[in-house]
Structure 1
Amino acid sequence: MKNLFRIPFIVALFAFVVCSCSTPKNAATSTPSASRGKFTGTWTITAISYDGLIENAVQNVFDQAPPSAFRGSTWQLTNSGNGIYTLTNGASQTIFWSVNNTDPNGQMFQFKKIYQGDKAKNVTAGYQLYVVSNDGNHMTLKSPVTVGNSTAYIIYDFSKTK
């Protein structure tokens, strides 16, 4: 008689454990590195514009050069997250990049500079740009800039070359 009550209890316990371990259908399944497919390849910055700023108001972006120096730069982004950008003057920078789909303000393209001997996992500083659009051939990213008590943006338009 004891076994008769024990078996339904074990089955119910097993069902409870299985149900509590499964992912709900409406749960967010995106990860910070998800959706790299539309970003991989070689991109060229074709235009730079400003929202809430006048041109030349910002003298240095990405701790490297003025925004205008990035016009015509090429960005090579691999699916593994490794990348490099090269300015038209020949200066290049190795980066590690990802896409963050969990930011409440929308999708973010983020990267950090990698120098000789660095491991990406040990580099904590980096840059985040909002993804305005990306159809796989054209991409628009905007970088927030604090101006007084408000936020302005530098807008980068990319075209895919490879």
Structure 2
Amino acid sequence: MTEMLPSIGEMLTATVPMAATLNLEFLETSVERAVVRLPDQPDFHNHVGGPHAGAMFTLAESASGAIVLAAFGDQLNRAVPLAVRAEIGYRKLAMGPVTATATLGRPLAEVVAALDAGERPEFPVAIEITREDGAVTGEMTVVWTLRPHS
């Protein structure tokens, strides 16, 4: 008998209330990239009719968390991933559904080697937010750390 484990998207939706509130759709999650979609929802629009900046921030941060879990989920027994800081730039007007694509900015093996050496490694995750027409509406960087358990 094979037991089905929840996907990273299902896990995040179940444990992160904002991901569920915004109805985020986890389209792809791997160690190479995470792709998360924010559907067009009038309840989360801003004053010009597009997704609110806070909703776009949460979308991008959620994509970064998804790739971190995909890349370092096997390290959870000895370290907890934590966001250290984030910076976002809003580039173009976002209208309709938007998609965030996250990629690791430091090699996975290098981060794990630093953890193995007793360090608390930090690593950036770059996220691009796009409209359905492919236009980049925002860019975000979240710096994460793996904090070893005490």
TM (normalized to structure 2)?
A: 0.26
Structure with higher strand content: 1
TM (normalized to structure 1)?
A: 0.25
Structure with higher helix content: 2
